[in-house]
Amino acid sequence: MNQNVLYQFSTLKIFNDKGYDGDLTQEALKSYGDIGLGTFNTLDGELILIDGAVYQADGDCKLKKGDEGALIPFAVMGFLGDTKALRLKRPLSMDAVKEVLDQKIAFDDPIVLAVLEGDFLNLTLHSVWPQEKPYRSLDAIVSEQKLVRVCHQKGRLVGIRCPQSANEKNVVGWHFHYLSDDQTIGGHVNDFMSLDLLIRYSIKDQIIEISI
């Protein structure tokens, strides 16, 4: 696989049109990357792909290894490959970290794959329970998701940054999923305050949509 691209299965537009039924296997997912994020069939939790392992955060943000048989309706992944590194040793909010990263990268609206590892004063997370047909809109489902706040955590964030040109295909800007070091807590990241972060990132040439 090309180390210089992000691979994407399905699109945000399809996902927003209630495309929650999974088709992609985890074996196929991992063939396109060792770092990534997504969700599971019927929106059964948040997906975190890191170091080639798949984790699933349930609606309470409790973490487990992803079931090998679980199918995936939406995912973005890639190989971290050759990385640049950035160390941030001062307290920073999520917005501040994004701003520092964008300034450091100094590319015009880049595509970025990153892993942010370190100590967090707090994180606000959410995930989702599996849905039943007839499916409701994603906005309605997200509006009911429980926010989980955790404090004094060590863990890693998978970060993906998509440019404006990816509008309707993916989330424009930064998107983070979290995995605690003890592998008990994870999910989509709404906000965080970091204390000390080591960030490894690589800039990608393009986003390639895959089909099965």
Average pLDDT over the chain, rounded to an integer: 94
Domain positions in the chain: 5-78, 84-204
Percent of residues, the chain, with pLDDT higher than 70? 100
- Parallel, antiparallel or unpaired: strands 111-126 and 147-162: antiparallel
DSSP 184: S
CA 50 vs CA 25, 31, 96, 97, 138: distances in Å: 16, 13, 24, 20, 25
DSSP string, 43-78: G-SEEEEETTEEEEE-TT-BEEEPPTT--BSEEEEE
pLDDT over 80 at 1, yes or no: no
Q: Over the stretch 12-35, which tens digit does the pLDDT of each residue have? A: 888 888 999 999 999 999 999 999
**pLDDT band per the 50, 70, 90 thresholds, residue 176:** very high
Mean pLDDT of 161-171: 91
Q: Over the stretch 68-108, which tens digit does the pLDDT of each residue have? A: 888 999 999 999 988 899 999 999 999 999 999 999 998 89
Nearest to 72 by CA among 32, 136, 21: 21
What's the confidence (pLDDT) of residue 119?
A: 98
Q: How far apart, in whole angstroms, are the C-alpha atoms of residue 2 and residue 144?
A: 38
What's the CATH architecture for 5-78? Answer: 2-Layer Sandwich (3.30)
Domain 5-78 matches domain 84-204 at the CATH topology level: yes
pLDDT over 80 at 154, yes or no: yes
| Assigned CATH for 84-204 | 3.30.1330.80
Q: Is the peptide bond prior to 134 cis by the omega test (within 30 degrees of 0)? A: yes
Chain centroid, CA 101 distance in Å: 17
